[in-house]
Amino acid sequence: MTTASTTAAPARGRGALALAVAIPVLLFLSLVSWAFASPVGSSPDDDFHLPSIWCGLGERPGLCAPGSEPETRSVLTPLTDAACFAFKPEVSGSCWNPSETGMSDTPRVNVGLYPPLFYGTMSIFASDDIQTSVLVIRIFNSALTVGVLSAVFFALPRRLRPALVVSAVGSAVPLGMFVAASTNPSAWAYISAATVWVCLYGAMLTDGRRRWALAGLAVLGGVMGAGARADSAAYALLSIVLAVILGARKGRSMWAAAAAAIVIAVAAVGFYLSARQGSAVVTGLSLDPVPLTIDQHISNFLNIPTLLAGALGGWGLGWLDTYMPSVVSTLSLMVAAGAIFVGARGMTPRRVIAFALSLIALYLVPFVLLAQSQAMVGAQVQPRYILPLLVIFLGVASVGVDIERSWTVSRITFAGVGLSVAMVVALHVGIRRYTTGVDDPALSLGARAEWWWNGIPSPTLVWAAGSAALIFAFVLLGVVQHRTLAAARLSTNETSNHGMTSA
């Protein structure tokens, strides 16, 4: 005889599968809206990163050729002046002329400064159609971000999944989403920060194919990060240390995690030493530094939180000239702070050590870099440099045994509403800054637009679709959590009833 429970099981399975597909798709669509939100050259230092991508696979006819000097390269002329609107928030994206012909020399190109992996991979999509190539790169990085994080989510044991979600989502609005859907190597640094430590930790808690899958994903994230930015290579080493603190136990099989950690460490050290960017911690970022006074060092130490808030909307996006309304940073900070307090329950000695170490790194890395650069907060060091450390910190703060039960539907609703409102406002401001410039405060993004992509739906439609996608993703996350908590309560009740019957 067929019972209600047996007929309901397949339906629940189909519903879970639908949710497992729908949430990543919605998050991808939300990231794609950011890919369309700004013109070519809009991510930080794109006058460097774009020529570096076009030369990422070496000399190619019509794309990259030797320059007049050993440290220069000849690239398509529109690449060299794509950021014509940089530091000019009143200037729209229409100032760039993609139809310019010919090749031009540029010293702003990667010749041993950054690790080569990111540029070499993105160079696969480079062509003489710059606009299409840039959009394809942004969409590819959006898909890569969602794809890697989804794979890690399903490979992790259930108890670690909230840490991954909190770290990736809690730090995403607005800077995380902006760089994840960009041509900037910080996109890969973001992925690496969210995955390496939690995958290694998960590999220490699991066995069988799941263990090796997590070890492989840890290697993927570590190599991606180290191959994109030298500082991300250093953060990968920090991730290894944190995973060991949290997960190493006597009697546990550590072979998979140890093998993955060794591969990551070798790759990180190799990429770090091969890139001149890594020397910034020693030499600083300033070309002609003036020594700071004791009072200035103290001022820097007290103002480091400004950089942390900057990653959550307190600083401008792009070339730091797309300023966010304070509602964006306020809501994003509230969600991040709430996630820390939710995760801080039931701290064990190992968690306290890992929490303290990640917090110290989050604070001291920018302080030391400012000190070496002889710069004050607000100059040289940008929030995107320490965004990966914020991702790691939020994740480490959320690895408690009962953290899944702590994230009640009401808390997810609070976080979802906060981040959704912040996203809606940030995306609107970001699109308007490039369609008209900030000197035209039109509410309708299509009204008086001076710039937009050819053949792409209207800016208002892109904004509405991207915002709705994130909102629905949070709604579905709430549904998933409601089902999870209901199943946990049912399991607890059945166990209790079974115990009473046995008695």
Domain ranges of the chain: 14-43+120-449+457-498
CB 233 within 8 A of CB 269: yes
- Confidence tier at 4 by pLDDT (50, 70, 90): very low
- Confidence tier at 277 by pLDDT (50, 70, 90): confident
Cis peptide before 174 (omega within 30 of 0): yes
Residue 493 has pLDDT above 90, yes or no: no
Mean pLDDT of 475-496: 75
Residue 403 has pLDDT above 90, yes or no: no
Which pLDDT value is given to residue 424?
Answer: 98
User: Look-up: residue for tokens 């060794």?
Assistant: 262
Percent of the chain with pLDDT over 90: 82
Q: Decide: helix, strand or coil at residue 36.
A: helix
* Cα distances (angstroms) measured from residue 237 to each of 65, 361, 500: 36, 12, 50
Alpha-carbon span 490 to 76, nearest angstrom? 63
Alpha-carbon span 414 to 427, nearest angstrom? 20
Which pLDDT value is given to residue 339?
Answer: 95
CB 343 within 8 A of CB 397: yes
Mean pLDDT of 189-197: 98
> C-alpha angle with apex 454: 316 to 141, nearest 5 degrees?
55
Alpha-carbon span 211 to 202, nearest angstrom? 7
Alpha-carbon span 387 to 229, nearest angstrom? 13
| pLDDT digit string, tens, across residues 213-236 | 999 999 999 999 999 999 999 999
| DSSP at 176 | I
R_g of the chain, CA atoms, integer Å: 23
Alpha-carbon span 194 to 186, nearest angstrom? 12
Which pLDDT value is given to residue 482?
Answer: 85
- Confidence tier at 1 by pLDDT (50, 70, 90): very low
Query: What is the sign of the dihedral through the CA atoms of 357, 360, 362 and 366?
Result: negative
Tell which residue, 187, 186, 174, has the closest CA to residue 37.
174
H or E element, residue 113:
none
pTM of the entire structure?
Answer: 0.94
Alpha-carbon span 320 to 179, nearest angstrom? 13
Alpha-helical segments (H) within 310-408:
326-343, 349-373, 383-396, 403-406
| pLDDT digit string, tens, across residues 317-369 | 999 999 999 999 999 999 999 999 999 888 899 999 999 999 999 999 999 99
Cross-strand pairs, 366: none
* Cα distances (angstroms) measured from residue 125 to each of 55, 103, 132, 135: 11, 19, 9, 10
Tell which residue, 361, 405, 398, has the closest CA to residue 234.
361
DSSP per residue, 467-488 = HHHHHHHHHHHHHHHHHHHHHH
CB 384 within 8 A of CB 366: no
Token pair of 346 as six digits: 């039931």
Backbone angles phi, psi at 224, to 5 degrees: -60, -50
